[in-house]
Copies of this chain bind each other. A is one copy, B any other.
Amino acid sequence: MKVINEQIEIDGIDKQILRALMNDARTPILSIARTIGISGAAVHQRLRKLEDAKLIVGSKFVINPKILGYKTMAFIGVYLDKAMRNPSAVKELQEIPEVMESHYTTGNWSLLIKILCKDNEHLMHILNHKIQAIKGVSRTETFISLNQQIDRQIKV
């Protein structure tokens, strides 16, 4: 692992370790070590370094929201009044649990957000009573995801 500025370069062994854990965070370190052909302690050390370098942010269980009844995903372009303080709008968005992502973006919108709702009725409720209720939100454009084909992390 080589540090260049605030970036790092990782070697093939780091990549093998990361690939295994990005695929299944509970893969035992020892089994990774055996696959690669080095000792568990070595894998452990490398992981510590990758964490120190902040490359590894954490680990998560991934759940399927559909099983809990969340079946409608949508992207919403949000127009904010110029005068408004955007940070307060973002703070209010953060209070809405259905909001999964929020980005400041270039282009027409101020924000692009991704939300997850149970159904279209739920989506409409969030739009009309939660998003539109936020001060500074003047208009929104909604794009419902009919089907997601790709969902992955960057390849290492």
Contact = CB atoms under 8 A, between A and B. Distances in A.
Interface in A54-110: 54-70, 73, 75, 90, 93-94, 97, 99-107, 109
A7 interface: yes
Contact of A58 (B24, B99, B105): B24
Contact of A73 (B60, B97, B103): B103
A152 B105 contact: no
A64 B55 contact: yes
How many copies make up the complex? 2
Nearest to A47: B61
B102 A149 contact: yes
Given A105-B144, A105-B145, A150-B100, A56 B63 contact: yes
A88 B104 CA distance: 31
Interface string A1-42: 000001110100000001001111110000000000000000
A75 to B, nearest CB: 6
A147 interface: yes
Contacts of A59: 24-26, 59-62
Contacts of A18: 61, 63
A116 interface: yes
